[in-house]
Amino acid sequence: MDKIIINGSKRLNGEITVQGAKNSVLPILVAALLVDGVSIIHNCPMLSDVDATVTILEYLGCKVEREGHTISVDSTDIKRYDVPDNLMREMRSSIVFLGGILGRMGKAVLSTPGGCEIGLRPIDLHLSSIEQLGVNFKTDGGFIDCSVGEKGLTGTKITLSFPSVGATENIILAAVLAHGTTVINNAAREPEISDLADFLNRCGAKIHGAGDSTVTVEGVKRLTSTEHTVIPDRIAASTYMIAGAITNGKICLKDIIPSHIGPTIQPLREAGCDIAVSGRWVCLSSPPRLKRIRMIRTMPYPGFPTDVQAQMMALTTVADGTSVIVENIFESRFKHIGELLRFGAKISAEGRMAVVEGVKHLNGANVKATDLRGGSAMILAGLCAHGATQITEIHHIDRGYEEPEKILESLGADIKRVKEDAKTEQSERGTQ
C-alpha cells in the first residue's frame, strides 16, 4: 500500500492545469452504453474510479481503448445486462449503470450498493423514478432485478423529493431512448448533469434544461457516435485553491470554468484571500493569516459542495477565529475530524455541525485517509503543518485525484508517494 509523506510549511506558488471531472466522466462512460457505435471521450482523468467503470463496461461487452486521457468505448456488441457484486462494490456511484443498462438492454441486474464511508446512501429515489418510467423491479438478497414492462420505457413527469445527482443521471439515461417525453422536476443542477446532457445531445439526444431544476428529455430512436471533452473537475480545482490558501501561497488554475467554483471562491474571499478571475483562469493570493469563515453549509449546487467540506474544514483549523460548518447532504461526513485533531486542530462536533477554533499552526502527524475528500483534507493539513506528516490508506485519494503529489510538488510542496515496504508492513502488523 502506498502512503504520502509531506514536510509541511512550504508556501505554494505557481500555476497548474486541473484534471477532468471525475463525477462527469463516470456517467458519460455509462451513457456510451446507449450509443450505436463508438464514443470518444477526451480529458478523462486517470483514477481508480474510472478504471472500475471501464472494467464494468468491458464486462458488459464493450470494447474499451485508452490512450492517455482519451477513452473510446465501442458499445456495438453488448451482451450482458448484469453487474456482479464485486464490481458494484468497487464504487458506490456504479448505481448509475442502472439507467444506462436499462436504456440499452431493457433489463438490468445489479447488486444494491449499500452504505459507504460517508453515509447510508439509499437508492430509493433511483428506484421509484425508474418505476415511473415503466420498469418493474424486485429486490432480493442484495440484488435489484429490473425489467422494462410491456410498453417499454415510457416518458412521464417525475418529481424528485431531493435533487439527487445520481437519481437525476439515472432518469436521464433511462429516458433518452424512451417513448415520449420525460420531465424531471427538482432535478439536480450540478455542472456534471449539464456535461452528461451535452454529451448525449451531441449523440442525437433531445435534452433541454440540464443545469436547471426542470429537465426535459424527449425520447429519440437512436444515438450515434460522437467525441466529447469532459469539463474540468471543480472539486479538484477547489482543493488546489485551498492548498494555495492554507500555505499562504499564490497559485493560478488555468483552463477551468470559474463559475463552477463560485461556491468555493466566496468563502475563500471571506477568509481573506484575494481571488482574480479572468476568462478560464482563476488566481488566488493568500494573506499571511487566514480569517475565520463564519458559517459554511453544504447544499446542492449552486450551494457550497459537500465534496469540499473536509478541505475547507482543514483550512479553518488554522484561520484566526471560530468557524462553523454544517453538513446537510450526507449524514456521516465528519470522519476526517478525528484525523485533523491529530494535527493539533481544535474541533468539536455534534450531529451535522462542527465548530472549528482556529489555532496558530498545525503540527505534522501520522494520519489516514478516511475517505476520498477526507483524504485530500489530510494532504492540505500536512502541507501547512510544521514538520512531517504521513498519510496512509491513500487508495481513497486515488479514487478522485490524479497524481496529486506531482501537482503539489510542481507548486513547491515537499511531498512524495512511497511504497510501503512489505517487510515493514509485516513487522508492524506483528506488533499490533
Strands (E), 172-312: 181-185, 206-208, 215-218, 223-229, 250-254, 274-278, 281-285, 295-297
Return the number of the residue (12 or 31) whose C-beta is nearest ligand UD1.
31
Binding piece for ligand UD1, criterion CB under 6 A, among 36-44, 57-65, 113-121, 137-145: 113-121
**Nearest distance, CB of residue 360 and ligand UD1, angstroms:** 32
Residue of 87, 329, 354, 413 that binds ligand UD1 (CB under 6 A): 329
Contact 9, 386 (CB under 8 A): yes
CA distances from 125 to 34, 85, 111, 247 (A): 22, 21, 16, 41
* 164 touches ligand UD1 by CB under 6 A: yes
Task: Give yes or no for a contact between 317 and 292, defined as CB atoms under 8 angstroms apart.
Answer: no
| Of 319, 315, 317, nearest in space to 264 by CA | 315
Q: Are 347 and 337 in contact (CB under 8 A)?
A: yes
Which residue from 70, 79, 95 is spatially nearest to 168, judged by alpha carbons?
Answer: 95
- Shortest distance in whole angstroms from residue 248 CB to ligand UD1: 29
Determine which residue in the list 4, 16, 62, 167 makes contact with ligand UD1, applying CB under 6 A: 167
User: Is residue 307 a contact point for ligand UD1 (CB under 6 A)?
Assistant: yes
d(CA 137, CA 279): 47
Give DSSP secondary structure letters for 256-296.
--GGGGHHHHHHHHHTT-EEEEETTEEEEE--SSPBP-SEE
Cβ atoms within 10 Å of 420's Cβ, excluding its own: 12
- Over the window 186 to 225, marking each residue x when it contacts ligand UD1 by CB under 6 A and - when it does not, the resulting string is --x---x---------------------------------
Provide the β-strand partners of residue 251.
Answer: 14, 284
Q: Of these, 122, 142, 149, 287, which contacts ligand UD1 (CB under 6 A)?
A: 122
What does the alpha-carbon distance between residue 416 and residue 343 come to, in Å, rounded to a whole number? 19
Of 123, 217, 236, 275, the one binding ligand UD1 (CB under 6 A) is 123
Residue 115 touches ligand UD1, criterion: CB under 6 A: no
| Amino acid, single-letter form, for residue 121 | R
Least Å distance between CB 120 and ligand UD1?
6
**312 touching ligand UD1, by CB under 6 A:** no
**Closer Cβ to ligand UD1, 84 or 122, answer by number:** 122
Least distance from ligand UD1 to the Cβ atom of residue 188, Å = 6
**Residue 144 forms beta bridges with which residues?**
110, 139
Among 166, 344, 374, 382, binds ligand UD1 (CB under 6 A): 166
CB-nearest residue to ligand UD1: 166
- Asked whether position 66 contacts ligand UD1 by CB under 6 A, the answer is no
Site string for ligand UD1, 24-63 (x = CB under 6 A): --x-------------------------------------
CB of 153 closer than 8 Å to CB of 103 = yes
Pairing of strands 223-229, 250-254: unpaired
**Residue 114 or 180 with smaller CB distance to ligand UD1:** 114
Residues 226 and 232: their CA atoms lie apart, in Å, by 19
Q: Which stretch binds ligand UD1 (CB under 6 A): 36-44, 124-132, 246-254, 344-352?
A: 124-132
| Residues 367-406 close enough to bind ligand UD1 by CB under 6 A | none
Task: Please say which residue, 112 or 201, places its beta carbon nearer to ligand UD1.
Answer: 112
Tell me if residue 273 is catalytic: no
- The nearest distance, CB 183 to ligand UD1, in angstroms, is 19
Could you give the CA distance from residue 298 to residue 306 in angstroms, rounded to a whole number? 5
Single out the catalytic residue among 116, 146, 283, 384: 116
Report which of 199, 158, 202, 198 is spatially closest to residue 178, judged by C-alpha positions: 158
C-alpha cell at 60: 458488459
Closest to ligand UD1 by CB, 69 or 126: 126
Q: Applying CB under 6 A, which part among 162-170, 179-187, 355-363, 412-420 lies near ligand UD1?
A: 162-170
| Interface positions with ligand UD1 (CB under 6 A) | 23, 26, 93, 119-126, 162, 164-167, 188, 192, 306-307, 329-330
The residues assigned a catalytic role are 116
